[in-house]
Amino acid sequence: MSTAAAAADAAPAPKGKKKLVILLAGLILLLAVAGGAAFVLLKKKPAEEHADEETAQVEKAKPKPRREAGVAPVFVPLDPFTVNLADREVERYAQVALTLELDEAKTEALVKSYMPAIRNNILMVLAHKTAAQILSSEGKLALAGEIQRATARALGYEVEEPEAADADEDEDPSRKKKRRKPRPQPALPVTAVHFSNFIVQ
């Protein structure tokens, strides 16, 4: 009888150990799957944010607006510009009215005190354009960027023009020049240029 009792006690013990082993194996498997998923997600995120190094460097070099979130922007409308365009075949002119969006209220007084220099720089930018260059949406966006930089220069900021792609690079890949890394630009006092009237005749 004592042998039968001992055998009965010994039989349930392996079943309990089996369950414990199965639970531990399941837990280890679950942790491994969760760890692998976390690794893939964390590794994938930086790759999606910056497709390549050059894009990341250009994004870092872009001027960031200094205005804090929740602060109302400051707008300074300028008197309309009427200027002869650089077209050679036919005499064309543009009438452009624009408003400067500034980074902060203090800049408004500075812009008003430098207004003659600002208007001169904007007129020079407009006068060097042809009608074909400024009639498209892309042309207007490029013009707004040039006016933004010209205004910053009038206020005493050192601003470089973005480098245009070299036409020879597309034709012959062996003649590609090494491009310089873009230098970080300072945050500009004019955060945007808004056109309120744009007529080309």
The CATH number for 126's domain is 3.30.479.30
Whether 82 and 132 share a structural domain: yes
Residue 177 lies in a domain: no
Q: Which domain holds residue 156?
A: 72-160+184-200
pLDDT at 47 over 90: no
Give yes or no for a contact between 188 and 159, defined as CB atoms under 8 angstroms apart.
yes
Phi, psi of 81 (to 5 degrees): -105, 135
Q: Mean of the pLDDT values across residues 79-83?
A: 95
Most confident of 10-14, 53-57, 87-91, 94-98: 94-98
Cα separation, 187 vs 106, whole angstroms:
15
What's the pLDDT at 27? 84
pLDDT at 169 over 50: no
Q: 93's torsion region: left (phi>0), alpha (psi -120 to 50) or beta? A: beta
What's the pLDDT at 32? 85
